[in-house]
Amino acid sequence: MGQRICMPQLSCHSPLGALTISEDDGRIVALDWGWGRDQEETPLLVKVRDLLEKYFDGERVDFRGLPFSPYGTPYRQKIWKAILDIPYGETRTYAEIAAQAGGSARSIGGAMGANPIPVLIPCHRVVGATGLGGYSGLNGVEDKKILLDLEKGD
């Protein structure tokens, strides 16, 4: 048998548009905007898709129990782990995350922009001291507003 070249992916519809979840070696490694070319229903990807559908239907979903393996530096891994602990419907500022995990508000922003698993690792819950800050989603801050409003129940 040949070696698997591509990792399993599964797509779903959302208020943000199509999203594609990628798995590698039994762990979630990415969530991207757009519909993936190849679709493979592994048990993990089906579970994540079902959780995302519940989340977008307005249910309080906790993604912390999922097996994540985002590619990134040890520092960014530490930041992403910290934001996983921000409860549903709550936000923290870049400065608060910097105080908790180390670094500066600017370095936290860099880690948020590089988050390969947005929504599931909820970087949308990290906001500026005087505004929303940026967002790496396809539609930028508009996607961040949609997610925050969804969690507020608006």
**Could you give the residue numbers annotated as active site?**
123
Angle at which helices 94-101 and 105-113 pack, to 10 degrees? 100
Contact 34, 13 (CB under 8 A): no
Closest CA to 23 of 1, 3, 47: 47
Contact 75, 103 (CB under 8 A): yes
Q: Which two tokens stand for residue 137?
A: 């989603």
Strands 126-127 and 92-93: parallel
103 Ramachandran zone, left/alpha/beta (phi>0; psi -120 to 50): left
Total Cβ atoms within 10 A of residue 78 = 15
93 residue type, one letter: T
